[in-house]
């Protein structure tokens, strides 16, 4: 019987628990103690425990053994300690604890039987192997030896980039700052030279930032290191970080996308989404602190998502003061947004809107439903009490009538509060044939649009419009079976007064220039023609619930897709009409699976493949019961 077995009770760890406690105390004391507690003291306690733990094995020389894990455990601790010790570079208290552990373990007296000596050597060997493995890793981690197998370096401009280059109307500079011997610089410049060959407006140069620092100052407004491409035009610039080492591989592999994005940003004018204010609209920025009892709508009405989406068109959000409506042609926002007004617009302001539209302006108008008087006092939290909706009259004058009664559906709605009012949170995949809805109509079930509480639109009878030239179309319809809560918002259908019908949740108005010009307005020149020669007039999109195109619901894929399509349609024919390229890696394409391919994408992997595997197993083990 070995001494280990005889003295098992007394040799539990041979000081190892003390050692580990000491190391832990050092680590905790040094790193995790909250401020104010005696961390320094704990460090010294840890060191003391380590010392005691190291001493104990020597006192119990014959009895010492590590617990049931045996010497391999010691070996592993040894290796880990050594690896951490090396990594810590001898400087921290943590390193001290691991160093102490390392010294202790190699100092452990091995028992003198032949087998134990072998085991000791094996454990030591394992520990040293671990240390060597970690040291090897440490060296390899410093070396850029690897390959990106997912992408290939972009050696020539893609068709999309070539199209962007061909549409340049002003000179653009692309300057590569690379040292003369940089191989990566040569690859980047080869790409830029090909881009320069596509458009004479793109001037490409290679500059050594060390030799000509003033060039960096001129283009980028500050010093630059080598390994950067600067794309500059219209007084603005974009930097592409390429690098000059092996790390440049990754940047070169996506250079086409990055370059195209930079090109679009510097060559396209920055525009603004002009938000009207002063009529109770959603605030562009957080306003005064909320009063007690006032609901917190900051999240629900957050415009952060809308702001991020607008960046795809190089547009930023700008609030227009109430008096600035009259100066619309001068302010000339890319798009005017009227988001849920609750106060009336003055006749002067309505005329200003008329003029703006007549001059080819683009307007996105979102109205809220108005709660009709209802029995029982049941709360409908998402629609506003009242009887009228500002701008509804102005809209009706153009042939589009807004019915402010909130819509509801008995089955198709978004369950949120488990109250009856949830019936007003409509979900729809009913997309009328409209040029803006091609994408959503292609795969409607992929893009369900959600409303919080919506009114509806319908077309005013022909001949009764002040603007007979307006072409009105439904953009988004409620699902069949929807009714309007005209007889009181109790969220249950009264078939006598609330028949189900086909309701538009959003509609568009389009004016043609030839039909507007006779009114005597001067068109804004930059909106007059598109590159294809097609003429465009003013456009307006009216939405029956602001949450459909703004706020928290914009996180829904369907609402986001709708917003994107609405923006594309509204901005068509303007300098902002084409969205900037999305961050899809160059050479990549989106994976689109349609509903009719569900058997391939869903049923095959989820059900058929596991069943086939089980059937194979049954066949394999046939005859074995």
Partner 1 sequence: MTSPNPRPKTMTLSPVWLIARRELAGLFASRAAWWTGAAYLFLTGLLFNAMALGPGARPSSVVLESFFTLASGLTLLAVPLLSFRLIAEERQTGSWVLLETAPVTPRQILWGKFLSVQGFHGLLLGLTAYLPALVFLHGRVAPGHLLAGYLGLGLLAAALTGVSLAASALGRGLLTAGVFAALGAGGWLVLWLAAPVSAPPLNTALAHLALYQQHFPPFARGQVWLKDLWFYGAGAVLGVEWAAVVLRQQREKR
Could you tell me which stretch among 124-132, 223-231, 407-415, 453-461 binds partner 1 (CB under 8 A)?
A: 124-132
Q: Does 1 bind partner 1 (CB under 8 A)?
A: no
- Rounded to the nearest 5°, which phi and psi values hold at 275? -95, 125
Looking at beta carbons only, is 149 or 462 nearer to partner 1? Answer: 149
Q: Are 507 and 539 in contact (CB under 8 A)?
A: no
Q: Does 27 bind partner 1 (CB under 8 A)?
A: yes
What CA–CA distance (Å, rounded) separates 88 from 100? 13
Q: Does 446 bind partner 1 (CB under 8 A)?
A: yes
Q: Are strands 362-366 and 407-408 parallel, antiparallel or unpaired?
A: unpaired
**Which one, of 339, 309, 394, 281, lies nearest residue 548 by Cα?**
339
Tell the smallest beta-carbon distance from residue 28 to partner 1 (Å).
10
Q: Does 6 bind partner 1 (CB under 8 A)?
A: no
Interaction mask 538-557, partner 1, x per CB under 8 A:
-------------------x
Angle between helices 70-88 and 114-141 (to 10 degrees): 30
Q: Does 245 bind partner 1 (CB under 8 A)?
A: no
Strand partners, 339: 366
Residue 413, number of CB atoms within 10 A of its CB: 21
Tell the smallest beta-carbon distance from residue 582 to partner 1 (Å).
9
Q: Does 62 bind partner 1 (CB under 8 A)?
A: no
Looking at beta carbons only, is 126 or 505 nearer to partner 1? Answer: 126
Query: In the range 93-112, which residues lie near partner 1 by CB under 8 A?
Result: 94-95
Task: Report how far apart, in Å, the C-alpha atoms of 279 and of each of 118, 343, 345, 441 are.
Answer: 87, 5, 7, 35
Looking at beta carbons only, is 52 or 93 nearer to partner 1? Answer: 93
Tell the smallest beta-carbon distance from residue 264 to partner 1 (Å).
18
* CB-neighbour burial class of residue 436 (10 A; exposed 0-12, middle 13-18, buried 19+): buried
Residue position matching structure tokens 């549409």: 167
**Which one, of 312, 260, 254, lies nearest residue 587 by Cα?**
254
Q: Does 171 bind partner 1 (CB under 8 A)?
A: no
**Which one, of 64, 81, 62, lies nearest residue 124 by Cα?**
81
Q: Does 119 bind partner 1 (CB under 8 A)?
A: yes
Q: Are 153 and 191 in contact (CB under 8 A)?
A: no
Q: Does 113 bind partner 1 (CB under 8 A)?
A: yes
Size of the site for partner 1 (CB under 8 A): 77
Looking at beta carbons only, is 136 or 386 nearer to partner 1? Answer: 136
Q: Does 591 bind partner 1 (CB under 8 A)?
A: yes
Could you tell me which stretch among 65-73, 290-298, 344-352, 487-495 binds partner 1 (CB under 8 A)?
A: 65-73
The token pair at 67 is 């617990």
Q: Does 37 bind partner 1 (CB under 8 A)?
A: no
Interaction mask 67-96, partner 1, x per CB under 8 A:
-xxxxx--xx------xx--xxx-xx-xx-
Q: Does 599 bind partner 1 (CB under 8 A)?
A: no
Q: Does 270 bind partner 1 (CB under 8 A)?
A: no
Q: Which contacts (CB < 8 Å, 24+ apart) does range 84-87 have?
A: 86/131, 86/134, 86/135, 86/138, 87/134, 87/138
Q: Does 617 bind partner 1 (CB under 8 A)?
A: yes
**Which one, of 524, 335, 347, 539, lies nearest residue 435 by Cα?**
539
Q: Does 529 bind partner 1 (CB under 8 A)?
A: no
Query: Of residues 42, 56, 126, 541, which one binds partner 1 by CB under 8 A?
Result: 126
Q: Does 442 bind partner 1 (CB under 8 A)?
A: no
Query: In the range 558-587, which residues lie near partner 1 by CB under 8 A?
Result: 561, 584-585, 587
Looking at beta carbons only, is 99 or 404 nearer to partner 1? Answer: 99
What CA–CA distance (Å, rounded) separates 263 from 220? 15
Query: Of residues 32, 181, 388, 461, which one binds partner 1 by CB under 8 A?
Result: 32
Give buried/exposed letters for 143-153 (b at 16+ CB in 10 A, else e): eeeeeeeebeb
What dihedral angle (degrees, nearest 10) is formed by the CA atoms of 109, 111, 116, 118?
A: 50
Q: Does 34 bind partner 1 (CB under 8 A)?
A: no
Strand partners, 170: none
Query: In the range 129-158, which residues lie near partner 1 by CB under 8 A?
Result: 129-130, 133-134, 136-137, 140-141, 143, 145-152
């Amino acid at each position: 019987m070995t001494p280990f077995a005889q003295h098992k009770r007394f040799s539990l760890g041979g000081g190892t628990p003390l050692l580990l406690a000491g190391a832990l105390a050092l680590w905790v004391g040094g790193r995790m103690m909250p401020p104010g507690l005696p961390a320094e003291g704990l460090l010294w306690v840890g060191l003391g425990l380590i010392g005691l733990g190291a001493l104990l094995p020597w006192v119990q020389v014959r009895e010492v053994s590590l617990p049931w894990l045996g010497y391999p455990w010691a070996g592993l601790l040894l290796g880990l300690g050594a690896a951490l010790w090396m990594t810590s570079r001898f400087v921290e208290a943590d390193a001290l604890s691991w160093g102490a552990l390392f010294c202790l373990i190699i100092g452990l007296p091995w028992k003198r039987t032949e087998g134990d000596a072998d085991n000791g050597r094996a454990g030591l060997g394992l520990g040293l192997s671990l240390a060597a493995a970690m040291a090897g890793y440490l060296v390899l981690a410093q070396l850029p030896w690897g390959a990106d197998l997912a992408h290939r370096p972009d050696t020539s401009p893609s068709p999309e980039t070539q199209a962007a280059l061909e549409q340049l109307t002003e000179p653009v500079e692309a300057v590569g700052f690379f040292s003369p011997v940089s191989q990566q610089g040569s690859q980047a410049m080869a790409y830029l030279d090909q881009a320069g060959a596509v458009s004479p407006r793109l001037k490409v140069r290679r500059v050594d930032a060390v030799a000509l620092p003033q060039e960096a100052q001129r283009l980028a407004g500050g010093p630059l290191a080598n390994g950067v491409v600067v794309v500059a035009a219209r007084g603005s610039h974009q930097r592409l970080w390429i690098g000059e080492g092996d790390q440049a591989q990754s940047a070169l592999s996506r250079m086409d996308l990055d370059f195209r994005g930079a090109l679009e940003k510097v060559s396209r004018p920055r525009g603004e989404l002009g938000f009207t204010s002063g009529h109770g609209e959603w605030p562009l920025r957080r306003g005064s602190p909320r009063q007690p009892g006032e609901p917190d709508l900051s999240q629900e009405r957050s415009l952060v998502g809308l702001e991020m989406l607008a960046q795809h068109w190089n547009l930023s959000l700008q609030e227009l003061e109430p008096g600035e409506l009259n100066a619309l042609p001068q302010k000339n926002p890319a798009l005017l947004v009227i988001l849920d007004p609750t106060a009336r617009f003055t006749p002067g302001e309505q005329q200003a809107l008329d003029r703006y539209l007549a001059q080819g302006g683009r307007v996105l108008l979102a109205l809220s439903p108005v709660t009709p008087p209802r029995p029982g006092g049941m709360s409908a939290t998402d629609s506003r009490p009242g009887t009228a909706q500002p701008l509804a009259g102005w809209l009706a004058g153009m042939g589009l009538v807004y019915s402010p009664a909130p819509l509801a559906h008995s089955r198709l709605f978004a369950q949120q509060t488990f109250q009856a009012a949830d019936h007003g949170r409509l979900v729809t995949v009913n997309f009328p044939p409209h040029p803006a809805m091609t994408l959503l109509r292609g795969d409607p079930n992929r893009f369900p649009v959600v409303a919080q509480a919506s009114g509806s639109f319908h077309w005013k009878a022909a001949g009764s419009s002040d603007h007979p030239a307006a072409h009105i179309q439904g953009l988004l319809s409620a699902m069949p079976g929807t009714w309007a809560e005209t007889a009181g918002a109790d969220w249950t259908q009264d078939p006598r007064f609330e028949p189900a019908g086909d309701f538009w949740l959003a509609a568009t108005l389009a004016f043609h220039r030839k039909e507007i010009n006779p009114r005597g307005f001067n068109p804004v020149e930059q909106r007059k023609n598109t590159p294809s020669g097609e003429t465009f007039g003013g456009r307006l999109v009216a939405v029956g619930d602001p949450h459909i195109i703004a706020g928290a619901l914009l996180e829904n894929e369907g609402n986001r897709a709708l917003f994107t399509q609405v923006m594309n349609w509204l901005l068509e024919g303007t300098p902002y009409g084409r969205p900037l390229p999305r961050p899809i890696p160059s050479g990549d394409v989106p994976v689109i699976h349609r509903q009719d391919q569900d058997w391939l994408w869903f049923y095959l992997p989820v059900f058929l493949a596991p069943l086939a595997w089980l059937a194979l197993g049954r066949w394999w083990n046939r005859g074995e019961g």
